[in-house]
Structure 1
Amino acid sequence: MRVDLFDFDLPEERIALRPALPRESARLLHVPPEGALEDRHVGDLPSILRAGDVLVFNDTKVIPARLNGERRREGLPEGQGVAQIEATLHMRLDAGRWKAFLRPAKRVSEGDRIIFHGENGSTLAANVEERGEGGETTLRFECSGPDLDAAIALVGHLPLPPYIASKRPEDEQDRADYQTIYARHEGAVAAPTAGLHFTPALFEAIRATGVTFEYVTLHVGAGTFLPVKADDTSAHKMHQEFGTIDPETAARLAAARDEGRRIVAVGTTSLRVLESAAASGRIEPFHAATDIFITPGYRFRAVDALLTNFHLPRSTLFMLVSAFSGLQRMQDAYAHAIETGYRFYSYGDACLLERPKAET
């Protein structure tokens, strides 16, 4: 499909730079399969969800994955062979290696050594093992395992999305705001932002209605922020992200679908790992990397409803929601959201999309 079909005009003032407080006070656009759109709030979810629904959350935890440092080349005169480098880690390969996006990538070659610096005087060294396309690089760090995790925590910065980071610096408030209350498995470069709206009080209110909760993991990569540069969706390459659904969770989710209960994905990240695990038509245990790319025409196998924030024009995530609810339906929903003052992106408002039962 042509990528320009997923374009729309978004006024800059619609981009949220801070979340709503309290979190559940964010606005919620309810998009049923047909009929009128409904303007609600996230705190209304207990009255919108149905008894028996299964909410599926992504319990990944954001790490301080943005590193600033210097590329150093040995054997050159003092002051030469040094270049300032920014790295954004996006997928762990093993105990000591990460895939990362480097800027400016043209200043880095295989075999180069990079020293990353923290504000507290700490350092972390890595060697460039392999260069890929679009600035993607494999870094081999000089420590590994828990030692590497601790070093990244000291040296790294919170990787706020570019559309926020370009307007203001990261601060201490972001360390709480840009993390879900149920985050537990470290490895994400970006927050599963639909989950940022939930509070303990909202959890309790939803559970009281007969809705159950399940947790899956997808370590969100920096590729989620990359623009689609191709003219056609068939030419766009998705970057891999690592996901996990344990056997017990997969069995409960499969049983819920057999019983006719709705699977409600909290965020596109939850949806992507669920759909990756349901390639056979049934949700199965999953522990692998996925580069699933969902565009209109995709047949959903696992998810009946989706809670998600509002996404970038021409993004893979707007393509995903257009596949879920229909391109025209989402164009109309986004036009309504822009006209009525909804806030967009990671710290913005949310929408609840429901698919017709006949299509599940």
Structure 2
Amino acid sequence: MDINAYDFELPEELIAQVPLLERASSKLMVLDRKEKRIDHQHFSDIKRYLHEGDCLVLNDTKVLPARLYGAKEETGGKVEVLLLHQHENDEWEVLVKPAKKVNVGTRIVFGDGKLIAECTELQEHGGRKMRFEYEGIFLEVLDSLGEMPLPPYIKEQLSDRERYQTVYAKEQGSAAAPTAGLHFTNELLDELQTSGVEIVYLTLHVGLGTFRPVSVDDVEEHEMHAEFYQLSEQAANQLNEVRTKGGRIISVGTTSTRTLETIVRDYGSFQASSGWTDIFIYPPQQLKAIDGLITNFHLPKSTLIMLVSAFAGRDFVLEAYRLAVEERYRFFSFGDAMFIF
């Protein structure tokens, strides 16, 4: 399958640089797959489309202030480090820039020595393993030195780092936010629960795959990086009960979708599970775990627009994106949302 089948024209000015003041005030495009109908709403109107017995599935991962700026101990050369995944003994998988300047044994100093990293292994695509040295509690040191790892297409500084966290973020470990969830407020979630909509939480720590573009012409040759996921027994039982009773399972974001699809493909139903997934979803694959999807507007030729196309159909999705550009929807992490059912 040719990657250019998922290309579209996107004016740069439609890439949202800052979040809206009110989370739920973003625009919402609603796609009815059966009727092939597209409606334009605001995100606060999502409650019109969710009913008693439906279940929202939210990814409760929390973004680390994972971008660090330091200097090589020997030369003082500037180095940027992005934490991706923690291994044992304070060793992390990271991305570094400039990668060619960091070899095994290179030591990088952050915050006048509050944190020191030594490269222990070279990996592909600018990846490295690094062992960190510090006094005290690592997450507290990181909180004082690190910055939120905003995607490269966002050029503005983020004045409030909590706006790159969902209001229900809990489990530390992501290198990027599950951005479809940024539209929810606590008040909106309370309203939905009061109306009979159930809420289930899972965890998928967003990692290297988020930052890696598709670099092959044939989609099927692209390889996803593995990311850690977890679904509790209570959550699995709740999801199976919703399905048994005929309720809809509405996934909030592509990260929640990839987790649910991984589990259903492995076990045939929702099961308590944790591990690593490198699932890559694209047409003509059929999604088995979800009945609806809330997601943002994604990059041209990205794995995310392919996943959405697998759920709603490539032609329908590209027509929706054409309308989104025409109607001046805001794109990507701080942009507007779509609800597909």
Shorter-chain TM-score category? over 0.9
What are the residue-to-residue correspondences of 1:173-192 with 2, within 5 Å?
173=160, 175-192=161-178
Indicate yes or no: 2:56 matched with 1:55: yes
Aligned residues: 339
Q: What is the CA distance between 1:22 and its match in structure 2?
A: 1.6
Instruction: Classify 1:161/1:348 alpha carbon distance in 2 versus 1 (closer, same or farther; 3 Å).
Output: same
Query: 1:72 maps to which residue?
Result: 73
Q: Do 2:283 and 2:310's aligned partners in 1 also have CA atoms closer than 8 Å?
A: yes
Q: Do 2:67 and 2:147's aligned partners in 1 also have CA atoms closer than 8 Å?
A: yes
Q: What secondary structure does 1:255 align onto?
A: helix
Instruction: Classify 1:225/1:262 alpha carbon distance in 2 versus 1 (closer, same or farther; 3 Å).
Output: same
Query: 2:299 maps to which residue?
Result: 312
Matched AA of 2:116: A
Q: What secondary structure does 1:142 align onto?
A: strand
Query: 2:94 maps to which residue?
Result: 100
Please report the TM-score for the alignment, with normalisation by the length of structure 1.
0.90
Q: Do 1:180 and 1:198's aligned partners in 2 also have CA atoms closer than 8 Å?
A: yes
Q: What is the CA distance between 1:135 and its match in structure 2?
A: 0.4
Whole-Å separation in 1 of the counterparts to 2:147 and 2:308: 30
Q: What is the CA distance between 1:169 and its match in structure 2?
A: 2.5
Q: What secondary structure does 1:129 align onto?
A: strand
Whole-Å separation in 2 of the counterparts to 1:244 and 1:106: 35
Indicate yes or no: 2:275 matched with 1:283: no
Query: 1:357 maps to which residue?
Result: none
What are the residue-to-residue correspondences of 1:132-143 with 2, within 5 Å?
132-143=123-134
**Cα-to-partner distance string for 1:73-116 (whole Å, 9 max, x where unaligned):** 5xxxxxxx443211111122235121111111111111222212
Whole-Å separation in 1 of the counterparts to 2:121 and 2:220: 26
Query: 1:333 maps to which residue?
Result: 320
Query: 1:91 maps to which residue?
Result: 85
Q: Do 1:266 and 1:307's aligned partners in 2 also have CA atoms closer than 8 Å?
A: yes
Q: Do 2:104 and 2:119's aligned partners in 1 also have CA atoms closer than 8 Å?
A: yes
Matched AA of 2:108: I
Matched AA of 1:154: S
Q: What is the CA distance between 1:293 and its match in structure 2?
A: 1.0
Q: What secondary structure does 1:336 align onto?
A: helix
Whole-Å separation in 1 of the counterparts to 2:197 and 2:103: 52
**Cα-to-partner distance string for 1:279-331 (whole Å, 9 max, x where unaligned):** 22211112112111111122322111100000011111111111111111110
Query: 1:36 maps to which residue?
Result: 37
Unpaired segments ≥5 residues, structure 2:
none
Give aligned-pair identity as a percent: 44
Q: What secondary structure does 2:92 align onto?
A: strand
Q: Do 2:18 and 2:158's aligned partners in 1 also have CA atoms closer than 8 Å?
A: no
Query: 1:351 maps to which residue?
Result: 338
Q: What secondary structure does 1:8 align onto?
A: coil
Query: 1:77 maps to which residue?
Result: none
Q: What is the CA distance between 1:57 and its match in structure 2?
A: 0.5
Indicate yes or no: 2:184 matched with 1:198: yes
Query: 2:144 maps to which residue?
Result: 154
Q: 1:259 aligns with which of 245, 249, 252?
A: 245
Unpaired segments ≥5 residues, structure 1:
74-80, 355-360
Q: What is the CA distance between 1:222 and its match in structure 2?
A: 4.0
Whole-Å separation in 2 of the counterparts to 1:248 and 1:293: 26
Q: How large is the Cα RMSD of the aligned pairs?
A: 1.6
Q: Do 2:229 and 2:274's aligned partners in 1 also have CA atoms closer than 8 Å?
A: yes
Query: 1:14 maps to which residue?
Result: 14
Whole-Å separation in 2 of the counterparts to 1:29 and 1:257: 26
Q: What secondary structure does 1:37 align onto?
A: strand
Please report the TM-score for the alignment, with normalisation by the length of structure 2.
0.95
Q: What is the CA distance between 1:278 and its match in structure 2?
A: 1.5
